[in-house]
Structure 1
């Protein structure tokens, strides 16, 4: 039991030091090796080179194209003015009286189309500040509005989302980004409805007390401030994304701005439904191609094709606006490196922890829940690890790398849909990850120039409580009716 305690202390230490701003590139291998040394469960050097590095490398091999293309696409959407054009149009349609809903939907449209939540937060915050000020809505509700639209239902629930949190389960369960679409849509509606109910309730309560927008400095913080605040986590290293590089030309029309976003989802679906079935992929069984099959790679292939198509489309539609095209491509590509390295480091950390004898006790406890319902066991495991690491993708990766094959066996033995397993995994990753040490939370608060005391309570309700309710609903529905 002492070794089990050491493992949990290692996880807590990782959470604390990550919150203090120490990079995961140092933390993850350092704490993994230290844990192996203290427990005596593994040879230290072998734990680092043969377990940590090999698993870190496997993750990069599998998902680097998604990080790279997603970062480039997000940067082009920002620099072309497309993100701003979409936001302005949505706001014009809804009107200033629906300021909260307008901000949420602007964020949702952009993130569902593949734009990083960090780019979305920078693009939408000035618009949100203006809307909330004009409507005299407390500024402290802006971070929760950004969170609800950016890292809740579009990240983990909506079918077809190119978010990495929706992509990581695909190779483990042989699924696609459209896994269990019915469950995903129901979960998304629950998250959106609960979040909007809470935010509108808080707005009404503030109004009854005479609380308005307040006196605030609404300038977007400079990147050096963001670095001091530790805002480098899942998604983008904002030090790689200059803030003053938008196009000087007139923004694109709404159809031109939204077309690349639609293309991401549409091409993804068409590739899976029509292109993959027409392909001869028997060659994948050869050792030089990894001795795999199409079910293991089709989801990743579809997102790669969709993002490439969307990038080409946005360049073609905005050729005259993207006067710094090479710089935009370079900055987007560079910004993808640190996030995938950090996430992959968490995967390596999880692999070392899983190789320790003490982890067998932890895994047996988690899998005991699986004897009753693998969906519940998987949700608990992903929630716990995402909470500790403060990372949806990191926590999910650790859970699936260590226990994924076992959950597949449990699901098949109990006739549970692997598509339902995918959707539960994705939704579970986006619940308790949004604790105070989460990088996205720190970044959004920094952009808004607010602190945890002022705004975190509403973020908690919109981005944790709502998704937890949706997760419970999905588990119940999947247990009764399977994946749909």
Structure 2
């Protein structure tokens, strides 16, 4: 009994510490210690093996995905510094109007994240533009957080096929599938998330206007100045690097679709590239992002002279998102080493629930425990995915539905991404979390269950 109480208390404490603004790395260590003591685990083994270096250790995860995080952050940095990202978003603003600020934010974030820009970098890139749009539309900042979350943390993160996001790469590595696995299910889930999300945002926008809520900048917002390069770049030119990244990621799939699997059997350069692209689910998207960064540096003179410094700064941008994610995975690594977790896994695998529903509850709870979709997905793929494959679930279906299921309870208050977003925007959980929770928790769960129903029917 004490072991189960310790597991529940550790998750509750992790959420509480996150709400209080405690550093997520420190919080993960404190809560890991609570798990260790309540479950009578070896302190030495827990903090030298399970937490940092085990199969699900923090640095095991960080080492495996460092290159993807780094290349994504570098691409986001050069896109932001060159003004290309802002040019794309401002083009949307001119065509849709400032009153469509929430639509613009969602579409711009979706385009950036689907192109491979790391979510944390999108937050920094979009916030200056978001301030301008919110001021023109006179909308409260809390709705910007919700729109940012919808565009960068829902359908483009876990549902849309082809995205180079970590959440699409993890199941690809574990199951041997490609980034387009379960494409139709992903498209169906994306439509549900986007439709419900925009309905909620528009409803909240109208209610805010009726209540007289207005844009209220803080001191940091007032000090921020608009980058003059935003109005000087052509959106068509700014879009080229994004097309390069997406094109490189899509090209192997197109070649296989057009020419069939026999193209992989050749010995030419094309065949070798296709073999590499299909076998290296982390390296190929990483190289695509890196090449996209090089294209930006070659195209825009404003960043060309600072190429190395900007790439270096981008690499630094990736460290905290990577370490924060790795820290909660390390906490999950300690949790999964307990007898209670083992019994929970056996219970879910042996339950009378349909396999897809059992999978949904399993991965949702794991993502909720570690406060990270990528963390929960990694743990699930390492510990439980083979059992669900053995139950007869198609690998492509498991890839897509597992990725979507990971994007629900991952956004509880202790999520590193949630904490980072509120830090950047200068808001508190009390001010903005309700809207973000509806967008990133409630709606993705509805979309996943709806898509699972389709999978069960078809």
Q: TM-score range by the shorter chain?
A: 0.7 to 0.9
- On the 8 A contact 1:247/1:322 being kept in 2, the answer is no
1:154-193 alpha-carbon deviations (Å, 9 max, x no partner): 1111111122122222111212221211111111111111
Cα separation, 2, equivalents of 1:280 and 1:26: 50
The equivalent of 2:292 in structure 1 is: 310
Task: Sort the Cα spacing of 1:338 and 1:457 in 2 relative to 1 into closer, same or farther, 3 A.
Answer: closer
- What stretches of structure 1 of length at least 5 have no aligned partner? 223-242, 283-292
The equivalent of 2:39 in structure 1 is: 39
Paired residues, number = 444
Cα separation, 2, equivalents of 1:277 and 1:92: 47
Shift of the alpha carbon at 1:105?
Answer: 0.8
Cα separation, 2, equivalents of 1:272 and 1:301: 16
1:366-392 alpha-carbon deviations (Å, 9 max, x no partner): 2234x5333222221222222233222
Q: How does 1:305-384 map to 2 (within 5 A)?
A: 305-369=287-351, 372-384=353-365
RMSD (CA atoms): 3.1
The equivalent of 1:468 in structure 2 is: 445
Return 390-399 or 445-454, whichever deviates more.
445-454
Shift of the alpha carbon at 1:61?
Answer: 3.6
The equivalent of 2:6 in structure 1 is: 6
Q: How does 1:47-86 map to 2 (within 5 A)?
A: 47-52=46-51, 53-55=53-55, 56=57, 57-86=59-88
Shift of the alpha carbon at 1:37?
Answer: 4.5
After TM superposition, the score normalised by the length of structure 2 is 0.86
Shift of the alpha carbon at 1:50?
Answer: 3.9
The equivalent of 2:272 in structure 1 is: none
Task: Sort the Cα spacing of 1:10 and 1:137 in 2 relative to 1 into closer, same or farther, 3 A.
Answer: closer
1:117-176 alpha-carbon deviations (Å, 9 max, x no partner): 333233323333333333343443222111111211111111111221222221112122
Shift of the alpha carbon at 1:22?
Answer: 4.5
Shift of the alpha carbon at 1:78?
Answer: 0.9
Q: Secondary structure at the match of 1:54?
A: coil
The equivalent of 2:108 in structure 1 is: 106
Q: Which residue, out of 439, 457, 471, partners 2:416?
A: 439
Q: Which residue, out of 130, 143, 146, partners 2:145?
A: 143
The equivalent of 2:270 in structure 1 is: none
1:255-277 alpha-carbon deviations (Å, 9 max, x no partner): 22112222222211213453896
The equivalent of 2:454 in structure 1 is: 477
Cα separation, 1, equivalents of 2:442 and 2:452: 15
Structure 1 or 2: more helix by fraction: 2
1:68-99 alpha-carbon deviations (Å, 9 max, x no partner): 11111111111111111111111112122322
Cα separation, 2, equivalents of 1:341 and 1:204: 39
- On the 8 A contact 1:104/1:148 being kept in 2, the answer is yes
Task: Sort the Cα spacing of 1:448 and 1:304 in 2 relative to 1 into closer, same or farther, 3 A.
Answer: closer
- What stretches of structure 2 of length at least 5 have no aligned partner? 268-274
